[in-house]
Chain A
């Protein structure tokens, strides 16, 4: 290798090169800044131009608009439903020529959406999740749907329970419509119960003794008898995605992680502690529920009972064992089902927020919401009945629907999936404490729950 010091003239050239480099560097920088600082301006612009729908144009505009629709699942019955919405929307709208569907699997869905938002290139329409939704609701970047709903005859917004719309209200604006009503169903393996000689949950129900306490007892008996590897399993996951699925027991215990207004931590309330302790005992004392990082699946046939979404039935179509369903057990507060209602929204900063909002509203007209029952029941009250559900191949018999699904829809009180304006941060802080202090062998649950509160308190007041 021949490394020699550059001659004087070369040094000048190096200086020149450095100068050119820094010029290009500066150019790159300014380019980036213009891209990003433009964001707030265009938000205001969008706000002013789309405050009310402008549909009365004198001249017919060309039919050349493609609106993009971002979702996290577009298969089978979901695709069937949306294909119908899209076809009918294109038939009645004279501007839109195509609805371009973009699908990202759920675990990375919001990350990709956030990249697009950051680059100020949101899609016209997207789904947002019930829990993280409120963070977007308060952003001021979602189109107010109320003016568009008024334009649709017979939409009947009152059909949505007030509770169901609350997470999606931003002041007087309704910036999203809930489109799912995912409920949980208790599945049990009849063969395991027979082998253990234990009465099935339906019998307990008849005795009026179908509670979380009795579920814990039979879960332990199933394991102790050797008939099952695990007695019970929270199919939606206790460890990942995290504590949030404790809602399934928190709700009937009258327990909550924080107050409804999101300003007070309630992890350390007696109800929340009692419910958490019961689950902890099931995992660490009875060994009746899979521990952290254990891979488990009710469909594998070695688990006695599981609480899973209604659509989990799809995974049980061909399993080689018998199973049946019923509702989730009661707690001290009685029967309180938990529901996940995801939202569909239109983005102001997209190229056609106006048409996007029209599409959003179109997907939830009474007729279209009925079609959605093929996936989950609709949040519309008028559709939460046996007559509607039995029109679709839900995977359950009519009797099973009536026993396990309908009660969760018609319950007097229900709990919506937890939401908070700082959800992501709160969720993460809580998860760290749960990982370190709750889901461990030597946990002290009351202390751990107090620790959760001291961790998330700063986020509660904001």
Chain B
């Protein structure tokens, strides 16, 4: 009897605790989301303000448009460059700088700085650094190599965009991993060392499993962030040259607010949303195989 009431009280507390977040979610996320799903079924030129129900036509148009496929490939390429580099780079930095020395703290601040700088300033500077007669190419020429059209070459443009975004985000993932590393009991690492494990081995067999939940979280967050990359593209390349650096979220923005086709943009958004949802679900399913959550 007493046990039941305890459980009930816990349930009530549980619901109450989560309700502010849930309520906000319904109003500010689910509402707009449902709206977007619905708009995807309409032809809607936002300037004319006409709304015609056209069923799945937007989706059919999408399948027949080679540009959409090109954008989808760019989106995937962007993510598969950006996510692993940022996760591994952030983890590496966190491990290297997980000390209380002045040097480590100063370096942390240096690597975190890009996170703090406004994206606008960050991209302006990189646009200058990457321009054909900029400092980077000047260095290349000093080294005897020929200059590279960083923001104009089809492959280089995407590589540059990824690099600029990775450098901007490294500090963010470093901080998350630093927090994660603090949860690793130093006794365990010490014990492994005493047992004769090399630093690399103790990292591999003690630290990595212990911080796996965090690694998982960082990976999921960065994957999602990668699909949402918009402002960087907008400010650095405007999706160009051609559409070489146009990722899906930027494409949606262009279709909706610049080409006025909000119905089509919504349908594209629905597809993007479903793709990210599917990917996240897959990540959560795979998690069981590589994450040790303790307890």
CB-CB under 8 A for A139 and B47, given A28-B31, A118-B262, A435-B241: yes
User: Measured between C-beta atoms, what is the minimum distance from B1 to chain A in Å?
Assistant: 16
Closest residue of chain A to B128 (Cβ to Cβ) is A295
Q: Taking chain A's interface residues, is the majority helix, strand, or loop, or is none over half, making it mixed?
A: helix
B125-168 interface code vs A (CB 8 A; 1 in, 0 out): 00110111100000000000000011110000000000000000
Query: Pick the contact of A425 from B26, B39, B127, B259 — CB < 8 Å?
Result: B259
Point out the residues of chain A lying under 8 angstroms from B44, CB to CB. Answer: 36
User: Measured between C-beta atoms, what is the minimum distance from A167 to chain B in Å?
Assistant: 16
Query: Pick the contact of A293 from B48, B151, B243 — CB < 8 Å?
Result: B151
In the complex, whether A428 has a CB less than 8 A from a CB of chain B is: yes
In the complex, whether B49 has a CB less than 8 A from a CB of chain A is: yes
Which positions 7-31 of chain A face chain B at CB distance < 8 Å? 24-25, 28-29, 31
User: Measured between C-beta atoms, what is the minimum distance from A155 to chain B in Å?
Assistant: 28
The answer to whether A432 and B48 touch across the interface, beta carbons within 8 angstroms, is no
The answer to whether B35 and A139 touch across the interface, beta carbons within 8 angstroms, is no
Point out the residues of chain A lying under 8 angstroms from B253, CB to CB. Answer: 111
Point out the residues of chain A lying under 8 angstroms from B30, CB to CB. Answer: 24-25, 28
A428 to B34: give the CA distance in the assembly, Å. 30
Point out the residues of chain A lying under 8 angstroms from B131, CB to CB. Answer: 293-295
In the complex, whether B10 has a CB less than 8 A from a CB of chain A is: no
The total of Cβ contacts below 8 Å across the A-B interface reads 108
In the complex, whether A135 has a CB less than 8 A from a CB of chain B is: yes
B216-237 interface code vs A (CB 8 A; 1 in, 0 out): 0000000000000000000000
The answer to whether B35 and A32 touch across the interface, beta carbons within 8 angstroms, is yes
Which positions 62-116 of chain B face chain A at CB distance < 8 Å? none
Point out the residues of chain A lying under 8 angstroms from B51, CB to CB. Answer: 36-37, 39-40
The answer to whether B152 and A111 touch across the interface, beta carbons within 8 angstroms, is no
In the complex, whether B294 has a CB less than 8 A from a CB of chain A is: yes
A interface, size bucket: 35 or more
Point out the residues of chain A lying under 8 angstroms from B34, CB to CB. Answer: 25, 28-29, 32
CB-CB under 8 A for A120 and B49, given A1-B293, A32-B31: yes
The answer to whether B132 and A424 touch across the interface, beta carbons within 8 angstroms, is no
In the complex, whether B196 has a CB less than 8 A from a CB of chain A is: no
The answer to whether B242 and A436 touch across the interface, beta carbons within 8 angstroms, is yes
A40 to B131: give the CA distance in the assembly, Å. 47
User: Measured between C-beta atoms, what is the minimum distance from B73 to chain A in Å?
Assistant: 16
The answer to whether A1 and B152 touch across the interface, beta carbons within 8 angstroms, is no
In the complex, whether B119 has a CB less than 8 A from a CB of chain A is: no
In the complex, whether A136 has a CB less than 8 A from a CB of chain B is: yes
Which positions 1-56 of chain B face chain A at CB distance < 8 Å? 26-27, 30-32, 34-35, 38-39, 44, 46-51
A71-87 interface code vs B (CB 8 A; 1 in, 0 out): 00000000000000000
Point out the residues of chain A lying under 8 angstroms from B262, CB to CB. Answer: 118
A32 to B47: give the CA distance in the assembly, Å. 18
In the complex, whether A291 has a CB less than 8 A from a CB of chain B is: yes
A187 to B128: give the CA distance in the assembly, Å. 24
Which positions 198-236 of chain A face chain B at CB distance < 8 Å? none
CB-CB under 8 A for A117 and B238, given A294-B132, A424-B258: no
User: Measured between C-beta atoms, what is the minimum distance from A91 to chain B in Å?
Assistant: 35
A24 to B35: give the CA distance in the assembly, Å. 13
The answer to whether A24 and B293 touch across the interface, beta carbons within 8 angstroms, is no
Point out the residues of chain B lying under 8 angstroms from A431, CB to CB. Answer: 240
Interface set of A (CB-CB < 8 Å, partner B): 1-2, 24-25, 28-29, 31-33, 36-37, 39-40, 43, 110-111, 114-115, 117-118, 120, 135-136, 139-141, 240, 291-295, 349, 424-425, 428, 431-433, 435-436, 439-440
Other than A40-B49, A141-B47, A293-B132, give 19 A-B pairs with Cβ distance below 8 A.
A25-B34, A28-B26, A28-B27, A31-B31, A32-B38, A39-B50, A40-B50, A111-B257, A135-B47, A240-B240, A292-B132, A293-B150, A294-B133, A295-B131, A424-B260, A431-B240, A432-B240, A433-B242, A436-B242
